[in-house]
Amino acid sequence: MAQATLHTNRLSLVPLADEHLQLEIELDSDPEVMRYITGRASSPEEVERAHRRRLAAADEVLGLGFWAGFADDDFVGWWILQPPNGPDQPKVAGEADLGYRLLRRHWHRGYASEGARKLIRHGFEDVGLNRIFAQTMAINAASRATMVAAGLRFTRAFVSGEPYDDPVPDAEQGEVEYEITRTTWQHRLR
């Protein structure tokens, strides 16, 4: 199946496309949004390069990729359900990495977990995944709480092997990974 448009009560999750680039630039230009990702605002050029990588994520496994989320046509942020990538994510077939990044004005309204729950259902029911995981800096309380709200459970703490140009403040406290398996989801959350 190709990457689908998904709907929740309040959100339309649309496969990421070139028409979303300006929205991504707005999102990544807020240093508060980027605090636990790069520790600083991204330049438009950096976002454009990231946009190309985000689009490419949809080519690897049918049904996975990045989604731009809208509430009543208002851009909220993006969500990912993408194949494992990078040094911290072993390439295991049937697994995917969950993530989210929202404009600050939309925080604390339940949007991130609402979209995440939809992507988890999509991943298990439509794509046939066996395991969905999410990773963040240990000190990113909002991201960790969103993982729990979406039904994931802590599985490991680790030190990232990702090479960063500029060290992110508090990166020395390490990373965490949360997960949900298909079996757990079927028993607990359907």
Ligand X SMILES: CC(C)(COP(=O)(O)OP(=O)(O)OC[C@H]1O[C@@H](n2cnc3c(N)ncnc32)[C@H](O)[C@@H]1OP(=O)(O)O)[C@@H](O)C(=O)NCCC(=O)NCCS
Nearest distance from C-beta of residue 6 to ligand X, angstroms: 16
Q: Which is nearer to ligand X, 110 or 128 (CB)?
A: 110
Nearer to ligand X, 2 or 6 (CB): 6
**DSSP per-residue letters across 68-118:** EEEETTEEEEEEEEE---STTS---TTEEEEEEEE-GGGTTSSHHHHHHHH
Nearer to ligand X, 79 or 185 (CB): 79
Structure tokens, 72: 């009543």
* Shortest Å distance, C-beta 11 to ligand X: 11
- Residues 130-169 close enough to bind ligand X by CB under 6 A: 136, 140-143, 145-146, 149
Query: DSSP for 112-148?
Result: HHHHHHHHHHIIIIII--SEEEEEEETT-HHHHHHHH
Q: Which stretch binds ligand X (CB under 6 A): 9-17, 33-41, 82-90, 122-130?
A: 33-41
Report how far residue 121's alpha carbon sits from residue 190's, in angstroms, rounded to the nearest whole number.
8
Query: Under a CB-based contact definition with an 8 Å cutoff, are residues 136 and 179 in contact?
Result: no
- Chain residues 75-104 in contact with ligand X, contact rule CB under 6 A: 77, 99-102
Binding site for ligand X (CB under 6 A): 33, 36-37, 77, 99-102, 107-113, 136, 140-143, 145-146, 149
